[in-house]
Amino acid sequence: MQIAEDFDVVVIGGGPGGSTASTLLAMQNHRVLLLERDKFPRYQIGESLLPATIHGICKMLGLSEELKKAGFVRKLGGTFRWGKNAEPWTFNFSTASTISAPKAYAYQVERQKFDTMLLRNAARKGVDVREQHAVKSLLFDGDRVCGVEFVDTDGNTRIANAMYVIDASGHQSHVYKHVGERIYSNFFQNLALFGYYEGGDRFPAPRDGNIFCAAFEEGWFWYIPLSNTLTSVGAVVSKQYVDQLKVGHEEAMNRFIASCPEISRLLANARRVTEGVYGELRVRRDWSYTNERFWKPGMVLVGDAACFIDPVFSSGVHLATYSALLAARSINSILTDEMDEDRCFEEFEKRYRREFRNFYEFLTAFYDMHQHEDSYFWKARKILKTEASMQEAFVTLVAGGSSMGDEELLVDNKKIEQIKGELQVLENVDEDAAPYFSAEKEAFLDVLVEEATQIQTQASVGSKRGAEKPLFENGLIPSADGFRWREATASSTAASGM
């Protein structure tokens, strides 16, 4: 006979999404079981973080001090060789009016260290964390999800009943299918080939901790300093170039590097790591998608289980931890304050989609601004965008409905043009004349960084939270401590103009 245990919430997956959600629930005294298939530390890509994760979410999780001591590389912003300008240009988080100066940085992290820190913290905060426990299926009461079936370390099949299940199992697992279909983007259809290098060069301080993104003929590179000597390097190319990997990953990577002068220069004296967890050249593809729904009765999706767009502006961990916060807020409100499930999860989904859409539109504009018309990769992005949008609009229209997912993939072209204009002004900054942005450029930077980091302020919750406006009609607002939802007062609703 199978052993059954009872919990308030079962969380599937111990990445940043799962750890964050489970911790924020346990901190409100709920009984939480987190099941993680692997043994931590385990490898994961996604090393460049945003300030919202560090100063918003990690602060709520009680991790600020531990993070400071961990010795991760400080990231003050991003440096880009992108668009018309042959010279690299830089944006700093500090130029966003929404981010206070002391918090205008994030970290570049070795994910196995960062994720383990989050997972161990979850256990300390009262989550029942079980590694090497893989969820095999969901339990249902009618249409409602009410638990999971999983396999423990000894290979025994067991059951955990729960009021709620959070799927934070990332891009690989198929649990999400119980909630809805995954809709892949027509615009972002790339693959990445990536590895690790010792001894790569650094930009001069204060840019030495920045992520560097360099466009080249077939796509673009990321160059992320993980320590004084270790660098994560990845080539993102259109999946049409998949044949170029046939020569072998090593050869393909060397060819990509050779065709990108900036990355070649930075790696001139470096050697690729060939042993240990960083010793492999890895490939990832099919990462740009959104699920048509993010919840169903008894269950929510967070992080990569729900959606991901593209690595260029480091939105992955941020969207994972932010959605985890929204999910935890909702479940805390339902379990503690007996708030209505539909209402809470609708607020969760609307806010999550809003941020996904903001990034999607921003990233579409960012890709679209690239001027190298002669390159197939960049030309294809433009063509795909136009055709995909019209095609999707048409199909959505004639199909007589617009699912949430379809709407997500229909981008707001007017907004994209506006963002693109702002980006092009930024990109034309003469770095020699103004190595660290001159005051007159800051207005544009503000808009840029605000788009890219808008969520930082939303996720960023201090001990005191000022009066807030609902984001949507009849919407909810976060409680003062950020752990739950509460009803908007008449005055906050009036202030929002609703």
Ligand X SMILES: Cc1cc2nc3c(=O)[nH]c(=O)nc-3n(C[C@H](O)[C@H](O)[C@H](O)COP(=O)(O)OP(=O)(O)OC[C@H]3O[C@@H](n4cnc5c(N)ncnc54)[C@H](O)[C@@H]3O)c2cc1C
Token pair in block for residue 105 = 């940085």
Q: Is 170 in the site for ligand X (CB under 6 A)?
A: yes
Residue 226 or 429: the one with the smaller Cβ distance to ligand X is 226
User: Minimum CB separation from ligand X for residue 395, in Å?
Assistant: 27
Which position among 12, 58, 452, 488 is part of the footprint of ligand X (CB under 6 A)? Answer: 12
d(CA 96, CA 101): 9
Which position among 7, 9, 16, 455 is part of the footprint of ligand X (CB under 6 A)? Answer: 16
Residue 172 or 463: the one with the smaller Cβ distance to ligand X is 172
- Tell me the Ramachandran region of residue 298: left when phi exceeds 0, alpha when psi lies from -120 to 50, beta otherwise: left
Which position among 85, 161, 173, 402 is part of the footprint of ligand X (CB under 6 A)? Answer: 173
Give per-residue burial for 63-101: e unless 16+ CB within 10 Å, then b. beeebeeeebbebbbbbbbbbebeebbbbbbbbbebbee
| Stretch of 22-30, 47-55, 354-362, 468-476 lying at the interface with ligand X (CB under 6 A) | 47-55
Which position among 24, 33, 63, 192 is part of the footprint of ligand X (CB under 6 A)? Answer: 192
Which residues sit opposite 134 in a β-bridge? 151
User: Minimum CB separation from ligand X for residue 384, in Å?
Assistant: 19
Which residue, among 117, 13, 12, 119, has the nearest Cα to 65 in the 3D structure? 117
User: Minimum CB separation from ligand X for residue 307, in Å?
Assistant: 9
Enumerate residues 48-87 that contact ligand X by CB under 6 A. Answer: 48-49
Residue in the block written with tokens 């673009």: 220
The mark string for 223-262 relative to ligand X (x by CB under 6 A, - otherwise) is: -----------x----------------------------
Residue 212 or 437: the one with the smaller Cβ distance to ligand X is 212
User: Minimum CB separation from ligand X for residue 18, in Å?
Assistant: 6
Q: Is 18 in the site for ligand X (CB under 6 A)?
A: yes
User: Minimum CB separation from ligand X for residue 91, in Å?
Assistant: 16
Which position among 9, 10, 11, 14 is part of the footprint of ligand X (CB under 6 A)? Answer: 14
| Stretch of 67-75, 88-96, 253-261, 302-310 lying at the interface with ligand X (CB under 6 A) | 302-310
Task: Name the residues that contact ligand X, by CB under 6 A.
Answer: 12-18, 35-38, 42, 44-49, 134-135, 168-170, 172-173, 192, 234, 284, 287, 303-304, 308, 311, 314, 316-318, 320
